[in-house]
Amino acid sequence: MLRQEKAAQATALLQELDLDCWMCFVRETGEHPDPGVDLVVGTAVSWNSAFIFARDGSRIAIVGRYDVENIRSTGIFEEIIGYDADMSEQLIAVLDRLAPRQIGLNYSLDDTSADGLTYGMFLLLQQMLAKTDYPSRFVSAERLLSRLRARKTASEVERIKESIAITNEIVDEFGAQIRPGVSEAELAEFVHQRFKERGVDSSWEWQYCPTVNCGPDSPVGHVPPQKHIRVEPGQFIHIDVGVRHNEYCSDLQRVWYVRREGETELPAELRRAWDTVIKAIETGAALLKPGVLGWEVDAAARAVLVDAGYEEYHHAFGHSLGRACHDGGPLLGPRWPRYGDSPYIPVEAGNVFTLELEIFTSAGMIGIEEDVLVTEDGCVFLSELQREPFFV
- How many beta carbons lie within 10 A of that of residue 355, not counting itself? 26
Report the C-alpha gap between 125 and 140 in whole angstroms: 14
Query: Which pTM does this prediction carry?
Result: 0.95
CB 105 within 8 A of CB 122: yes
Q: In Å, what is the CA distance from 64 to each residue of 82, 84, 194?
A: 5, 6, 41
Query: Alpha helix locations (H) across 106-141?
Result: 119-128
Residue 222: pLDDT over 90: no
Contact 3, 40 (CB under 8 A): yes
pLDDT tens, position by position, 275-326: 999 999 999 999 999 999 999 999 999 999 999 999 999 999 999 999 999 9
pLDDT in tens, 174-192: 999 999 999 999 999 999 9
Please choose, from the candidates 42, 34, 114, 109, the residue with its C-alpha nearest in 3D space to the C-alpha of residue 73.
Answer: 42
Q: What is the pLDDT of residues 313-369, one digit of tens each?
A: 999 999 999 999 999 899 999 999 999 999 999 999 999 999 999 999 999 999 999
If phi > 0 it is left, if psi is from -120 to 50 it is alpha, else beta; for residue 181 that is left
Q: What does R_g of the chain's alpha carbons equal in angstroms? A: 23
Calculate mean pLDDT across residues 98-119: 95
- Name all domains of the chain by residue range, CATH numbers in brackets: 2-149 (3.40.350.10), 151-391 (3.90.230.10)
> Please, which pLDDT band fits residue 223 given cuts at 50, 70 and 90?
confident
Task: Annotate 300-361 with three-state secondary structure.
Answer: HHHHHHHHCCCCCCCCCCECECCCCCCCCCCCECCCCHHHCCHHHCECCCCCEEEEEEEEEE
